[in-house]
């Protein structure tokens, strides 16, 4: 007599547990995936790889480029003194993993059998090439390079190395 | 069987408490918003972004609120008899490009040290290069000694075949603002430099076209205005809320 009754209770309990498990799943899974996406969003490409490529593409004029951004004119406005606090409030929404790297940039030019003057002139042409804004300018510079080398081989050399310093979770 | 019944009961109670706490925190935010709106003078009408739930008779939704300028909104606000403006940190965030997901310290053979800040979601399709699919790939900072001195700042625009490095028009750094003249790119950079270590800094980039938006002018920079007077600021949940009175 008691057996069917217990079986019924047992089935009800199993059903309750399954319902509860399903409910927990619907609550936890979206939270879990949201957290994963917030903290582990990966870049479409390795950001450090693109760093090295970008630096190398204008490697010989790197210092010249940085000088262009030298700050000259300064104005102080008392009303803007809270902006760092305000900025922090907004940045609280930015959840990413921060990657940190040390990068070295080395440049050199080797022309076997070339004179120091020839190397200097070639160096100057590389700089002019990196600064050129039009295709015709670049073509002219390439022509000058060939004339300067007069058949000699050249190895303009840009080397970038990087090491990871740290990775920190940027959640504030 | 004797063990299963108490276990199930405990689980049910835990789930009930968990769902109640979630509901309560949501209700708390809504309740606090309503409490705040109740503190405003009788007949007040507050304009809010569509992110917020409307409170009947007390609020009006306005899409893209943070990106509009004072001139854009003032006549519309007057027409709809809006008395207050409410903005939160969540309203501003979508309009910012944040650089700092990858930070590199670049040391050159000429002994120049430069910090490079990159973003996983950079500014894309800029007008700075003729090629499409270009991006503001990174921002470089030259920092002097002590580390609170900013010497130079450059934005780098990159596409498959083109590269351009130019200084931004305006920079906000360490309670100071700088304006660059000459050949610049139309961007404003805000530097969160609250740490002593530039590896921990975050750079925020905003197109110059948004410089005069109410989100940037009022929320981020606290710039004074004759028509929008700061009324109150406070936290509701994790949002930092600011309220202005429309004069």
Q: What is the pLDDT of residues B178-192, one digit of tens each?
A: 888 889 999 999 999
Confidence of residue B177 (pLDDT cuts 50, 70, 90): confident
Higher-confidence residue of B102 and A171: namely B102
Kindly tell me if the per-residue pLDDT of B77 is higher than 60.
yes
Distances (CA, A) of A40 to A95, A98, B19: 9, 10, 27
What pLDDT sits at residue A80?
A: 56
Mutation site, A66, A157, A167, interface B, largest B CB count within 10 A: A66
The verdict on a CB contact (< 8 Å) between A102 and B107 is yes
Q: What is the pLDDT of residues A27-65, one digit of tens each?
A: 777 666 655 554 444 444 455 677 788 888 889 999 999
What pLDDT sits at residue A81?
A: 60
Q: How far is B129 from chain A (nearest CA, A)?
A: 11
Q: How far is B68 from chain A (nearest CA, A)?
A: 18
Kindly tell me if the per-residue pLDDT of B18 is higher than 70.
no
What pLDDT sits at residue B28?
A: 57
Task: List chain A residues with pLDDT less than 50.
Answer: 38-45, 171-172
pTM (2 d.p.): 0.78
For A51, which of B138, B179, B183 is closest by C-beta distance? B138
Q: Please state the rounded mean pLDDT for residues B74-93.
A: 90
Kindly tell me if the per-residue pLDDT of B204 is higher than 90.
yes
Q: Which residues pair with B171 in a beta bridge?
A: B178, B189
Q: How far is A118 from chain B (nearest CA, A)?
A: 21
For A96, which of B101, B180, B238 is closest by C-beta distance? B101
The verdict on a CB contact (< 8 Å) between B15 and A23 is yes
């Amino acid at each position: 007599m008691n057996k069917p009754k217990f079986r019924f209770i047992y089935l009800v309990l199993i059903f309750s547990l399954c319902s509860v498990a399903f409910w927990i799943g619907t609550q936890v899974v979206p939270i879990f995936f949201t957290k994963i996406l917030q903290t582990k969003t990966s870049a479409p490409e390795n950001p450090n790889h693109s760093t090295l490529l970008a630096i190398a593409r204008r490697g010989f004029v790197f210092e010249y480029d940085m000088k262009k951004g030298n700050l000259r004119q300064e104005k102080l406005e008392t009303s803007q003194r809270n902006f760092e606090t305000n900025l922090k409030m907004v940045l609280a929404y930015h959840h990413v993993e921060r990657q940190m790297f040390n990068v070295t940039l080395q440049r050199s030019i080797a022309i076997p059998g070339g004179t120091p003057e020839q190397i200097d002139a070639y160096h100057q042409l590389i700089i002019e090439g990196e600064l050129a804004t039009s295709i015709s300018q670049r073509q002219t510079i390439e022509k000058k390079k060939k004339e300067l080398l007069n058949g000699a081989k050249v190895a303009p050399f840009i080397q970038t190395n990087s090491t990871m310093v740290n990775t920190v979770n940027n959640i504030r | 069987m004797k063990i299963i019944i108490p276990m199930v009961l405990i689980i049910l109670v835990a789930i009930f408490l968990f769902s109640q706490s979630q509901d309560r925190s949501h209700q708390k935010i809504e309740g606090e918003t309503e409490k705040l709106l109740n503190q405003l003078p009788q007949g007040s009408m507050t304009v809010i972004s569509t992110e917020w739930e409307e409170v009947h008779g007390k609020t009006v939704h306005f899409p893209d609120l943070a990106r509009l300028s004072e001139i854009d909104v003032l006549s519309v606000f007057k027409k709809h008899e809006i008395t207050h403006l409410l903005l939160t940190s969540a309203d501003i965030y979508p309009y910012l490009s944040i650089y700092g997901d990858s930070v590199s310290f670049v040391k050159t053979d000429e002994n120049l040290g430069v910090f490079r800040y990159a973003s996983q979601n950079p500014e894309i399709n800029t007008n700075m290069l003729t090629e499409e699919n270009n991006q503001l790939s990174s921002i470089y900072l030259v920092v002097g000694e002590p580390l609170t001195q900013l010497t130079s700042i450059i934005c780098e625009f990159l596409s498959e075949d083109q590269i351009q490095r130019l200084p931004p028009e305006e920079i906000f750094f360490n309670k100071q603002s700088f304006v660059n003249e000459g050949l610049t790119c139309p961007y404003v950079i805000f530097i969160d430099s609250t740490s002593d270590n530039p590896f921990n800094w975050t750079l925020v980039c905003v197109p110059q076209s948004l410089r005069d938006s109410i989100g940037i002018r009022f929320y981020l920079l606290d710039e004074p205005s004759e028509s929008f007077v700061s009324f109150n600021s406070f936290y509701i949940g994790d949002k930092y809320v600011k309220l202005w009175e429309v004069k």
